[in-house]
Amino acid sequence: MSSDSRQAFSSIHQEMHGFLRRPSQYTILPAPLPEDAAAETNGYFYIDSPTQDVVAVMDACLQGLHDVPRAKEIFEGLRETRRGDRLLDARLYNHFLEAYLEMATNKDTVNRAMWLEDAWLLYNAMEEGNELVQPTANTYAIMLLAWLRFNPDSPDKVALSSTIVQDPMSLLRSIIHRQISPALVVSDRAFTTNEEATQAIKALSKAAVQMGLSSVVNELGLADSLGRQVDDPLEDVPEAIPVMKFKVGAQSLPDVEVKRREDGTVAELTTKEPPRQPEGDIPFNLDTLRRHLGQVILARRVLSEDVVLRQRLLEQSVYNVAVERMKRQAEVFDQLGLPKQGLHSTDLRIWMWHWHQKLQARIEAEIKNLEVEERVIGAARLKRKPKEETLLTPFLRLLKPEKLSLITILELMHLHGSGGVQDGMKTARALLAVGRAVESEHKAEMAKKNHLPLPTSTPARAGELNVFTNAGYRDLHVQRVAAQRYLEDGENWTSEWTQLVRVKLGSFLVDCLMDVATVQRSMKDPRTGEIITEEQPAFFHSYEYQRGHRLGVIKFNPAVAERMSKDPIAETLHPRHLPMLVKPKPWLSYNNGGYLYNRTWAMRFKESREQELYLRHASDAGRLELVFAGLDVLGSTPWQINRRVFDVVLQVWNSGERFCKIPPAIPDEPEPERPPNMEFDNKAKTIYLERQRAWQQAKAANHSDRCSINYKVEIARAPLILQIWQFLGDIIYLPHNVDFRGRAYPIPPHLNHIGDDLSRGLLLFGEAKPLGERGLRWLKIHLANLYGYDKASFDERVQFVHDHLDDIYDSAERPLEGRRWWTKADDPWQCLATCIELRAALESPDPTAYECALPVHQDGTCNGLQHYAALGGDAVGAAQVNLAAAERPSDVYTYVAQMVEEAIKRDLEEGNEFAKLLAGKISRKVVKQTVMTTVYGVTFIGARDQIDRQLKDRGDIPVEQCWLAASYIAKKVLASIGDLFKGAKEIQMWLNMCARLISKSIPQDRLVHSYTEQDSSSTSARKRQPRWKKEQMTSVVWTTPLGLPIVQPYRAVKRKQVMTALQTVFISDPNIPSTVNSQKQASAFPPNFIHSLDATHMMLTALECRAQGLTFASVHDSYWTHAGSIDQMNSIIRDTFIALHSSDVLKSLAQEFRERYADYKVPLVALRGTGFKRLNISADQLDVSPEDIKALKEGEEEDEEGTEKAADEPLLVGDEDDAELAAEAEAETQEEKPKKGRKRTVKKDEIEKRLAGKFVNLVDILPPLPEKGMFDVKAIKDSQYFFS
């Protein structure tokens, strides 16, 4: 097929090609400055921790009017020092206006005039433009309310002489001047009663009549009419007979037209017909007005309210539900006449109930003590600077003690076994998690307060218009911004908390829990037979060593740890860990979407302020519309629990036996026997100790896996038994967000389709669709793939299923009692689910008409290599990973495994001991991960560890020999790959070199500082660094074809020492800027860039599948849909891949680097360690002398000779799951070890002195793009095994 004919048969919008080839709009921000540097722009973008602490304290003081004078004091200081800062936005000003008005109205009526004066002064400053903050609809609503309550004709009139009070006419004049819809003002959340809203409508209407503004009079009349519409009296009551339920249809509402400005905000509401008069005397209802306005402004489709209410109940009452269930458990024991076992009980829920009762009382008492202490030091506080404020009372008062107690208990239970700590957790992680949970719950409560209508689907969804056209994209942006502004205007302002606040709050609560939580354990004295009972702490603090660092840990009492793997643990699950009952809230901004109330972010960043800043600016600029739309597509896919598979899982679980990746309740592997000659035979002793260590690790892993599966079983059980967590339906949804590379993940962590084989086997699509003839064939191919027969042709896979139909029927009908054929599959639980579906289809009257809900997968062949081959036009690599058409699928893993086997045979002839041990045991599974990650830059050490795990999983190689055997195989694998991926290696080297140069560059405006200032922070001359090294703050940043900015977060961690009651913990502070790690930036860039490409391909496919009406889900490079839709999805997968790689991705990346880093310079002295010879740069290009070039080359040789990397580098942000905790280190600093090559220090110093102060333009030394090969990416249209 020719290229032209392939293009003609494209299954996607042609506009997608144009969209991907358009000139990209980049989000470009200044690099952060070193910690000891200061600049106004840096302070605007990167807020320091002390300021953030002050703002958090101010926020906590405002909530509930806890301490408004103190908040005002902080606010006035910030207005003077940080005027115009993004911290001081309109919502914060409105928050203070609201607080001042509430103080005057209720809390401090004695000083009413003072508070009103403060409110009008602040408003007038906003109106005059002195504060660089513009009033919003909420501002005018608050001030209109202030006038209504205290105007000269009101009962509580207050005369103010020292400030200007604006009447409704003045306010209306300002409202119109700022193009704000009056209807939004009168429906604002500031009005809490129908009476006040009615008065506001009358006051503004009267002012509009006096000003001759007929359009405003009509709009306010429309608002009054909408507020008097007949509402459903059963709106909030679950209804069993929907026919009897009266709903106000769209035809009963006026035809309202919304006029928006270019930024999506609402400017005016109009109607072509006069406002309808309600029948009879229907009172005005503010909630009705808000709901109807929300429907009009958001243009949303109203879903079944009872389902939305259940989701709202789920998120609102999670802690209350947990309390009630634990309380009910204790009451049942009493009603049955059983003894009040209390702590004697072995039921986890009863223990948790008693802990909660004691902890609640303890927290209440401790808060009172803290308040007394604050009053005592109150005078001293006034003399201190605001940045020193770290008192906890304002934060502890944000939630009731009952809720603080439950949060603490549930968070600790949830962290069980995390961070590699058996039956416990890292102390720093626990403290931060509890503090963060308190913050999240407080913000969720703020979001719940105002009862705004939530958009349940964006109006401009993919499928309703072509989002790749300019008009479609713009409409998507305008609708999203309108919904975002509408919801934000209705929310209270809240501040982000710093790590310091979180850890101090978490320390207070965890310390209280550890003091009061106990269990009673009993055992029989083996000598006397007497029962001995002892009360023990439920949690205790200890220390462990990990990677050479001494870490503080919180451990569970063994009795509690044992129950965690056995008891129902639904009480330890927060809604953010659960699927949703309704479609997730559409992503309206970078931090608003997913769950209805629990605040989540569109990106998972490791406390990286730079990533957060880029994401926010890109979102505000309207560059992330397709990313948000893609996440909405993934989150709106409905799921249900596979009841047939779940019943089998539950039966196996309750049996406590080891079965199909479900670990046994009691570890069944015998403890290694102690050899009798151990004391005299060192080899026997070494073997025994190694086996004992492996047995202990297996035992711990068994317990951890058991707990993990317990979570999955509980969540899967929830929708089925109709009681747990108020799940009254069987359809669930999984909200998604992305990691910093753009890869999408479900937010609920325990049960989702990205999980293990068991999780996937438990899930079906929420909607079933007919198979069709092709769908039935694909269902059979899917079964063969899951069984492990996935490298044959499609016809052979179908025949494989036909040959095993008897086994398939037996598996479906008698999964545990029969021959258990399905248990031998690579993915047994998914295999069982497919056996059940295939049998049901074949037994139906018409198999092609059978409606199947099972997801069927299409997986890429080593997808990273597929992208590399397409980028480089590498024909050889393309053939290896199925980009080129072939009769049979290529399998690069099997190919490499066979090469390794051949090498082993040669060693076997020479009598090699490892060859004897490993001959015939090198399967594709052993080498797969190493081959897959080789092109991502895996090292020998990484390859050895990967293969070591695979050899241990085989079970036929002695554990004590696996490590040395893995070293032997790793060398063979890396040698066997050879030139197989030559094209990919060239691109990888180009990406690596670009990243290395970028990370060593310095912005032009910092050049003077980089060589005129000396680093005097270290008193030791040996440790002193040249200043230019401290100025290397530049991260590698690039933009995906969908507009998502990717910022590599790899920097040296700045640790902050925090004293807590438990221990001294070291936490990372993301607000403290630190230098980038050049080596990590360079080595991580190739895999991160490729991952950003596969994420883009997935998003494009998701959007196009939604546009064509297909159900879609993905696990990175594995795409899922219904069996009957596979052919259609396959066409989309290929066409989106072609569209992506036809846009010349590498050329676009190189162009972005040249624009983004146009004003960046690289110190010549820094080029010594960047492979200067490989740059192939002449003296003329650098505009330096030949002597300088010679010095650079000599310097490189010296670095290669003298540099030795430390084995345990400092923990880098982004390296580990718990990187934000910055693993605690021992307090004492180890003395720096002298490096090799010290004898040449004199010469090295001479070179640095010669090159000091000399810089070269970064863009002038970026390496040229590798030459592209001849492979035409359009050829994948003919490759049936590209994704299969």
Which residues have a catalytic role annotated?
A: 859, 928, 1117
Cβ neighbors of 1270 (< 8 A, separation 6 or more) are 873, 875
Beta-bridge mates of residue 54: none
Cβ neighbors of 546 (< 8 A, separation 6 or more) are 420, 1223
Distance of CA 759 to the CA centre of its chain: 20
Give the burial class of 527: count Cβ atoms within 10 A of its Cβ; 0-12 exposed, 13-18 middle, 19 or more buried: exposed
1196 in Cβ contact with 1165 (< 8 Å):
no
1098 in Cβ contact with 744 (< 8 Å):
yes
Distance CA 294, CA 339 (A): 55
Q: What's the CA angle centered on 400, arms 398 and 402, to 5 degrees?
A: 145
Q: How many residues does the chain have?
A: 1284
User: In the structure encoding, which two tokens stand for residue 488, read together?
Assistant: 């934000």
Type and span of the H or E element at 1166: none
User: In the structure encoding, which two tokens stand for residue 473, read together?
Assistant: 């994209």
Q: What's the CA angle centered on 900, arms 899 and 901, to 5 degrees?
A: 90
Strands 736-739 and 603-604, sheet pairing: parallel
Taking alpha carbons only, the member of 1027, 1031, 999, 1033 closest to residue 1015 is 1027
Total Cβ atoms within 10 A of residue 1185: 12
Buried b (16+ CB within 10 A) or exposed e, 1141-1180: bbbebbebbbebbeebbeebbbbbbbbbbbbbeebebeee
- Residue ranges of alpha helices (H) inside 336-400 are 348-376, 378-383, 393-396
3-state secondary structure of 52: helix
Q: Which amino acid is at 170?
A: S
Distance CA 1036, CA 997 (A): 10
Taking alpha carbons only, the member of 861, 864, 755 closest to residue 1094 is 864
**Residue that the structure tokens 């080839």 belong to:** 21
**Residue that the structure tokens 């099972």 belong to:** 854
Distance CA 491, CA 443 (A): 10
**Residue 751 gets which letter from DSSP?**
S
- CA–CA distance from 707 to each of 125, 269, 414 (Å)? 58, 55, 10
Sheet architecture: strand order including 1160-1163 = 1002-1003, 1160-1163, 1255-1257
3-state secondary structure of 353: helix
3-state secondary structure of 343: helix
Buried b (16+ CB within 10 A) or exposed e, 24-34: bebbebbbbbb
Type and span of the H or E element at 124: helix 112-128
Beta-bridge mates of residue 1115: 1118
**Residue 67 gets which letter from DSSP?**
-
Distance CA 332, CA 322 (A): 16
Distance CA 776, CA 1124 (A): 7
Type and span of the H or E element at 426: strand 424-426
Give the burial class of 333: count Cβ atoms within 10 A of its Cβ; 0-12 exposed, 13-18 middle, 19 or more buried: middle
**Residue 1273 gets which letter from DSSP?**
G
